[in-house]
Structure 1
Amino acid sequence: MVNRLMAAGGFLEFARRAMEAKGQMPARHHELLIEHLQSVADGGCDRLMVQMPPGSAKSTYGSVLFPAYFLAAKPRGQVIAAAHTASLANHFGRRVRSSIEENGGWLGVAISKDSKAASRFALDGEGEYFAAGVRGPITGRRADLIVIDDPVKSWAEAESQTARDALFDWYRGELTARLKPGGRVVLIMTRWHEDDLAGRLLAAEAGWKCLRLPALAEVGDELGRAPGEALWPEWQGREDIERRRLEVGERAFAAMYQQAPLPPDAAFFNTARVRIVPEAPPLRQVIRGWDLAATLAASGRSPDYTVGLKLGVTEQSLLVVLDVVRLQAAPAQVEAKIVEMARQDGPGTVIALPQDPGQAGAAQIAMLTRSLAGYKVVASPERDAKTIRAMPAATQMDGGNLAMVAAPWNDALLAELRAFPHAGKDDQVDALSRAVNTLATTMAGAPARRLHLPLMAR
């Protein structure tokens, strides 16, 4: 009876039964995904790439229900599941185990009584499931099916050439070496970068079937949607998606929501969205972010600038650049300028300073803090790459939420923003990034609806 049911309905029937028990049913895009995964189970496709935006439930069907169905359809099958961390991989594994336990009667399979681990278990029919994080221990394991879900951890990892190379080398040198002859691979991910694992595989290997479903439909949509139609309107309509577009910025939206990462040479900052205002509006908080350089200019040498950028935020959460000072100076002159600007700005302005690693950096901050007695000083190290630190500022600019007070320094700042990250100088960008990011930690009760500054830590 079980085999006839599976033959009649296959993965779609199982998915409907499993989701109905939770009070849900597959949406239109889920049924298309199920159709592609059925082809993997049947042997019609051995390399499937699934690209969908966050919140589309692609993992529920691809990483939870599909491995359970595959093990029922292939009683001696072996599955390796991988994700960016062992914690996430184990989370998927626990859900797969629960799905088998809840639906084992219909599937005709049961977990071996000797298998106690939540995410690494065997079935009575000799099938096996093994979950591991990227670059985790898989030596000695074999697989008829490999499911990779969300292999990229963060923007910092996606932007790192070293991290991208390491992931690709692990995929080709270790993970796929575990495949049996005729084995299949399913890669499920949201895009991050043109050269992420999905992009590199599409460029390097023929034979991949790619199911790409953007949040907002484009011409030639695989679901037959009209351009601009939402992927899952019952869950998130077009208006909500467009709001999210403003919140995360065009660069992040193109990659993560439309599955179309912008090329590296695309403009990082959308300076066309910056407003120039004649004077500063009423502000609820002001920060001057500093980027420090302590080398004097000399013949044949053009060192970095020390830059202090003053940023305010209104009650409506509009960010306004109020002032920029730049100098190439020795350490004593830099310290004197920081103190001078603090006096001009007044004690209500937060002073945000970068701290170099090690004892020397701590000593420098201690010295500056003593010189700035009576002012609020916030210091922290620069841990991430410049582009990652600049992402929140770029997001605000994309959303038209950044303005500048009309001043002689406008042109130099805008020129540096347009050229970032390919220009020789980026000190003003670094100072802007510090001011915007410090705002996220010092501004109590800020309306998160507009700012969304924690994007940097995704």
Structure 2
Amino acid sequence: MADAAVLERPEVAAGPPAPDPVQVLVELARTNFAAFVSATHRPRFKHSGFSLRVCRAIDQFVEDVLAGKRPVLVLTAPPQHGKSSLISRCLPPYLFGRLTGELPAVRIASASYAHALAQRNRRDAQNIMLEPIYREIFPEVSLIGFKGIDNASEGLEVPGEGWLRGVGVGGPLTGFSVDIGLIDDAVKNAQEALSELTQQTHRDWYDAVFTTRLQARSGTVIIGTPWSANDLLAYVRKTMKGDSRLTVLSFAALNLPDEIGYNPDLPAGALVPHLHDETKLRELKLHMSLMWWASMYQQSPLADVGAIFKRDCVRYYRRADLANLRFVQEVISVDATFKDGAASDFVAAGVWAKTTENDVYLLTGRREQLAFMATAQAIADLKRKHPRALKIFIEEAANGAALIDMLRKHYPGIVGVPPLGSKESRWHAVSWAWANGQVYLPHPEEAPWIVPWVAEITTVPDAKNDDTADCMAIALQQLLLRTPISQLITQDILRAAG
């Protein structure tokens, strides 16, 4: 009987079918940038607290554009944390969908340090707009079946009289009206970032070209890593200080109370742990100068002036200490500017030795105003007294090339060192060794000649002369860096974060 009662029990009416999660995402993606990124980014984008904050700022940016506020959003974040994926690749397709029909046309100019990179970003955006999922989200501006213009010179045409044009920073926008301006990484590397000429060129282009193309209902998004306290990111922040249109989002890689750039309003710890955890970031910091760490990773660029090699990091040794050391490599480095006259620069030459612990000792040095033949003789004297110095590194700038040609006829191991980048970039590239206490100089009580060396090294770039700092940088580059200085300055820091 019990079984019969169960069988006769009336069925409970089934509830409504569960919503299709894809359709829910599609519907949400029409007005929510975070959902749009999740739906369209390939490979699938893994959101973090950082990316979600950026996405919320973008949605507010869109509302401000529609309200005619002409917003300017400046976003700074460390390299390889996903900012370009969000802004340069996903944002243009999202803006076409959100703004088409609301503005007379949606014309987007996407700028980067190189025209080729801007074109790559344009193609990435185009690929998103060719996806079936994009057609479901924004069918009016899908590129599937659309036969519009698509070339590097005129850009990508979009339904609704819109277009996306990629341009290098400094490149022309003549004849193009712009509704949305995007700038992603205005500078290519440290050499450009510390170049006063490049800084001024970027400022002039921004004022005279980029902003003059913006229409009445428009908006600007500028993203990047702040290499310098005088780059374009800093310029926009300074010139728009107090302007209600400006929104600045700055995210330190390691947000901790004892780190420069700490923001108590943001979560503590690594910015995007699944990409770069705290352990990895601390390892990066150990092999990086304070300037690069503060600017590139902590979004707090230091002034481009002031002591690079701090005086409180000077380490001295006495002759008796050498007996307990084992040197594995010795080199001679030379910064040669040989001109007669009291006002001329100095020739700086030093014998440097590296220990098994990767400490570097200056064994002896000369800093004098010497003519050509006297410089050659000084190098010959150092070589004779230190035969274990198998290589002599001479900077090729100024008169160095002639000196190299002559000495190569008499000595093996003469190596010319091209002065790549600015002096500041070369000094910063090796300043971590000085800051870590790995550079030892003779004690002034035993080697009084070291006093002007220390005074000069610890005051560059503001020192009257900088020859000894150049001499030391050449030696540290050769003894401690496994990669060429050009790669270290322009690529190694970014590649290490990849």
State TM-score, norm by structure 1: 0.88
1:283 counterpart residue number: 327
Q: CA deviation at 1:82?
A: 0.2
8 Å Cα contact 2:309/2:458 also seen in 1: yes
1:217 counterpart residue number: 255
Q: CA deviation at 1:115?
A: 3.3
- What is the distance in 1 between the residues matched to 2:76 and 2:211? 20
Tell me which moved more, 26-35 or 8-17. Answer: 8-17
- 1:43 aligned counterpart, secondary structure: helix
1:55 counterpart residue number: 80
- 2:408 aligned counterpart, secondary structure: helix
- 2:385 aligned counterpart, secondary structure: helix
In the TM superposition, what whole-angstrom CA distance separates every residue of 1:238-280 from its partner, at most 9, and x where no partner exists? 2221221121111111111111111234321134334334444
Describe how 1:404-415 pairs up with structure 2 within 5 A: 404-406=441-443, 408=447, 409-415=449-455
In the TM superposition, what whole-angstrom CA distance separates every residue of 1:65-91 from its partner, at most 9, and x where no partner exists? 111100111223110000011121112
- What is the distance in 2 between the residues matched to 1:398 and 1:231? 26
1:68 counterpart residue number: 93
1:166 aligns with 2:201: yes
Describe how 1:30-179 pairs up with structure 2 within 5 A: 30-43=51-64, 46-75=71-100, 76-102=105-131, 103-105=133-135, 106-108=137-139, 109-111=141-143, 112-117=146-151, 120-179=155-214
Q: CA deviation at 1:136?
A: 1.5
8 Å Cα contact 1:292/1:354 also seen in 2: yes
1:455 aligns with 2:488: yes
- What is the distance in 2 between the residues matched to 1:48 and 1:261? 19
Q: CA deviation at 1:6?
A: 4.8
1:371 aligns with 2:374: no
Counterpart AA for 2:251: L
- What is the distance in 1 between the residues matched to 2:304 and 2:112? 26
Counterpart AA for 1:104: Y
8 Å Cα contact 1:52/1:213 also seen in 2: yes
- What is the distance in 1 between the residues matched to 2:251 and 2:365? 43
1:14 counterpart residue number: 36
Tell me which moved more, 72-81 or 37-46. Answer: 37-46
Flag structure 1 segments of 5+ consecutive residues without an equivalent: none
**RMSD (CA atoms):** 2.7
Counterpart AA for 1:117: N
Counterpart AA for 2:407: L
8 Å Cα contact 2:401/2:416 also seen in 1: no
Counterpart AA for 1:264: D
Counterpart AA for 2:367: R
Describe how 1:190-201 pairs up with structure 2 within 5 A: 190-201=225-236
8 Å Cα contact 2:329/2:354 also seen in 1: yes
- What is the distance in 1 between the residues matched to 2:224 and 2:366? 43
Counterpart AA for 1:257: Y
In the TM superposition, what whole-angstrom CA distance separates every residue of 1:360-384 from its partner, at most 9, and x where no partner exists? 7644422122132xx3000133343
Tell me which moved more, 48-57 or 321-330. Answer: 321-330
Counterpart AA for 1:74: L
Q: CA deviation at 1:351?
A: 0.3
In the TM superposition, what whole-angstrom CA distance separates every residue of 1:201-240 from its partner, at most 9, and x where no partner exists? 11112332100111122567375323xx211122212222
- 1:232 aligned counterpart, secondary structure: coil
2:49 counterpart residue number: 28
- What is the distance in 2 between the residues matched to 1:67 and 1:313? 52
1:237 aligns with 2:258: no
- What is the distance in 2 between the residues matched to 1:439 and 1:2? 59
- 1:248 aligned counterpart, secondary structure: coil
Q: CA deviation at 1:10?
A: 1.9
**Candidates 400, 421, 428, aligned match of 1:391:** 428
- What is the distance in 2 between the residues matched to 1:157 and 1:366? 31
| Fraction of identical pairs, as percent | 23
Q: 1:38 to 1:399 in 2, by over 3 A?
A: farther
8 Å Cα contact 2:229/2:301 also seen in 1: yes
8 Å Cα contact 2:313/2:434 also seen in 1: yes
Q: CA deviation at 1:50?
A: 0.1
Larger radius of gyration: 2
Q: CA deviation at 1:173?
A: 0.2
Counterpart AA for 2:332: R
- What is the distance in 1 between the residues matched to 2:48 and 2:288? 26
Q: 1:146 to 1:264 in 2, by over 3 A?
A: same
8 Å Cα contact 1:80/1:145 also seen in 2: yes
- 1:419 aligned counterpart, secondary structure: coil
Tell me which moved more, 154-163 or 409-418. Answer: 409-418
Q: CA deviation at 1:316?
A: 4.0
Q: 1:198 to 1:83 in 2, by over 3 A?
A: same
- What is the distance in 2 between the residues matched to 1:355 and 1:8? 59
2:352 counterpart residue number: 311
8 Å Cα contact 1:84/1:134 also seen in 2: yes
- What is the distance in 2 between the residues matched to 1:425 and 1:413? 10
- What is the distance in 1 between the residues matched to 2:359 and 2:188? 30
**Candidates 299, 307, 315, aligned match of 1:267:** 307
Counterpart AA for 1:30: S
8 Å Cα contact 2:351/2:364 also seen in 1: yes
- What is the distance in 2 between the residues matched to 1:265 and 1:355? 25
- 1:262 aligned counterpart, secondary structure: coil
8 Å Cα contact 2:38/2:44 also seen in 1: no
- What is the distance in 2 between the residues matched to 1:347 and 1:214? 46
State TM-score, norm by structure 2: 0.81
